Structure 1
Amino acid sequence: MLYLPEGYADQPQKTWPLIFFLHGYGDRGDNLFLLAKASPFMFIREKGPLPFIIVAPLLSAYQGYSSFPEEYLDGVLAEVQGNYRVDPQRIYLTGLSMGGEAAYRLAVHRPETFAALVLLSCYVDSITYSLLDRIKDLPVWVIHGENDTVFPLVKAQQPVEALEAVGGNVQLTILEDHDHDTWTDTYSDPAFYDWLLEHQRP
């Protein structure tokens, strides 16, 4: 699923920031409406245009991100960069639940690619956890529901503490009275997009 910002066609010399979004387990399949309800696309649908290119690979109902090596997501990203005017200094990676775990994994293998990383309602697998020092220089924002029963809060706190221990640029937001769904409030909030635009690679 791809979104091009307003003005893209009219400004052929301009490059644009990119949001690379990885969806959760419940959004697998071919129902784009589900993806639009739980992603940055929801802001566009409900509130209006955003000044980003947005790309979201959509997995089939029988797939998980663990089915693909990092090279698969690399290929998606390379295809977008090859065909659209992406600002290479402003590529942002975000994911929720299963997609957040995959975003962590992709980030530690490609830390030089991204300007910032936002993880919602997710955990970190043991191999990725051991590699978190690779993203200590990357701005990381972890958002988790206080009452999440899918991935309890400690699952979000552990990687944050690991990044803090190596001097990482990380912040944790705990949403009170939220369960697993932190994305509805996060992706519909203009402050989320403002935060992304505060960061770019040197």
Structure 2
Amino acid sequence: MKKLVFRSILVVLITFFSISCSSDDNDSPSTPDRTSADVEADFQALDLTTGVNDVSLQSVEGRTWNFRLIIPESAGTSERPLILTLHGASGGNPDAHKSTACYTEPGFEAIDPIILSPNGGNNLWTDAVNQQMILSLLFLVNKYQNVNEDRVVVTGYSNGGNGAWFYAEVVQGLFSASIPMVSSYNTYSTAGTPRQINIPLYVIHGENDELFPLAETQEWVEATRSAGTDVTMEVAPGLGHYEPCEYVPYVKNAVEWLQNDVWN
């Protein structure tokens, strides 16, 4: 039942974003003869091997989706957790998705997951074009890789952490948990009331964050907790915003939380 729900939701969302992006984004390339079946066939044709794969796909609209997919050897014999990791910044760095060795790979090594790291380009993770890319890639990875669909997690750093909050809140039924890092996400509605998020979160934040003040993030964590969200927050003593690789121990703590509190 979980697999059916997961894939049904993704198909609906992919279709919605394909229509909305192609009709609303005048700057997108035009490839009227390309279909979602073409994208799926291209994914199947990728030469994916155990280890790190840096690959790309062309979307229905002709955009290039660059992403990294890390496949552990254990995926050949057992279903693995899937970690969707969203990089920081939105400045169009063509190699931004290749930073997984900094904190994602060492932080999550205890659960030997499949890791999906897309490149968000010049757009925010909340923009429609990136929503389409992420949901499409999740659908394809879940369909063609040995994923435990009850153990799909979204995480991210800085702008990617904001994205981890966003997808935890707006995409229902796909993720078992979210781990935002050094993020800034307002959990109040426009009416000033706190919003509830329906999946558990483990929020990691540096004590000395220069870009996103700790007090502000703490306030928003407390607000959503008061609305009923299952949220844990860990403050990293002495750490700031611009040292992502130093957060590995805190990611490992979040993995223990996944194993003991979320997946048990």
Work out whether the TM-score is over 0.5: yes
Q: Aligned match of 1:117 in 178, 191, 199?
A: 178
Match of 2:100, SS state, is helix
RMSD: 2.8
Distance 2:142 2:167 in 1: 17
TM-score (norm 1): 0.80
Whole-angstrom CA distance in 2 between matches of 1:160 and 1:183: 21
Higher-Rg structure is: 2
Question: Are 1:5 and 2:51 an aligned pair?
Answer: no
Answer yes or no: is the 8 Å Cα contact 1:2–1:54 preserved in 2. Answer: yes
Count of aligned pairs between the two proteins: 191
For 1:80 and 1:33, how far apart are their aligned partners in 2?
16
Taking only the aligned residue pairs, the percentage that are identical comes to 26
1:200 aligns with 2:260: no
Q: Deviation of residue 133 (structure 1)?
A: 3.7
Q: Match for 1:184 among 245, 252, 262?
A: 245
Question: 1:25 touches 1:99 (CA, 8 Å); kept in 2?
Answer: yes
Give per-residue Cα distances to partners, 1:38-83, cap 9 Å, x unaligned: 3413x18xx97851111111133x3332443533321121111111
2:86 equivalent to 1:22: yes
Cα-to-partner distance string for 1:98-135 (whole Å, 9 max, x where unaligned)? 0111111111111321111111101115xx64397442
Gaps of 5+ in 1: none
Aligned mates of 1:87, 1:72 — CA distance in 2: 21
SS in 1 for 2:149: strand
How far apart, in 2, do the equivalents of 1:105 and 1:75 lie?
17
Contact kept, 8 Å, 2:153 with 2:175, in 1: the verdict is: yes
- Return closer, same or farther for 1:99/1:48 CA change in 2, 3 Å cut-off: closer
Contact 2:82 2:113 in 1 (8 A): yes
Which residue in the other structure is 2:161 paired with?
A: 100
- Higher RCO structure, 1 or 2 (CA under 8 Å, sep 6+): 1
* Distance in structure 1 (CA, Å) of the matches to 2:172 and 2:243: 25
1:150 aligned onto 2:211: yes
Q: Which runs of 4+ in 1 moved over 4 A?
A: 47-50
Change (3 A) 1:3 1:149: same
Q: Deviations over 1:113-164 (max 9, x none)?
A: 1111111101115xx64397442x4221111111111111123112211122
